Amino acid sequence: MERLSWDHYFMAQSHLLATRSTCERLFVGATIVRDKRIIAGGYNGSIAGGPHCIDEGCYMIDGHCVRTIHAEMNAILQCAKFGEPTDGAEIYVTHYPCVQCCKAIIQAGIKTVYFAKDYKNHPYANELFEAANVTVKKVPFKKNIDKLFSDKTEA
């Protein structure tokens, strides 16, 4: 049996989290990891208890939906809420982070960003990551994970 690498394992977690997204425009998931241990996960969606885009539509201002919180921000805020330090951690995201999430990632002390898909990669985000010595790596998602389990799940 082919075993998933750590990078693909954590990226798979982010893709699973993305299935919880309540945004109609893009499903994004993020997993924060420290010492090979998942410390938080997030997906893009509305604030807790708030209306969801899938129920009421997107709330658009200047071409952006302001109803949702991005997956990266949700994961970082989950760490803040539950007292989990992010300094020196890594984040796995299904899509390249926007400029605002880039700034939050840097401020949270996260040192490595892994992403699966390019998505409106902004040059300023690249500049900020580089200036902050944040490593950014593309880790395409392996979609054939079901093959890994086919022989082991049938008893």
Give me the active site residues, please.
72
Q: Do residues 71 and 29 lie in contact, with contact meaning Cβ atoms separated by under 8 Å?
A: yes
Q: Is 101 annotated as a binding residue?
A: yes
Can you name the residues that pair with 29 across neighbouring β-strands?
A: 43
Q: Do residues 27 and 19 lie in contact, with contact meaning Cβ atoms separated by under 8 Å?
A: yes
Largest CA distance in the chain: 54
Phi and psi of 52, rounded to 5°? -100, 150
Which of 72, 80, 81 lies closest to 32, judged by CA? 72
Annotated binding residues, written as ranges, equal 70, 98, 101
Annotated binding residues for Zn(2+), written as ranges, equal 70, 98, 101
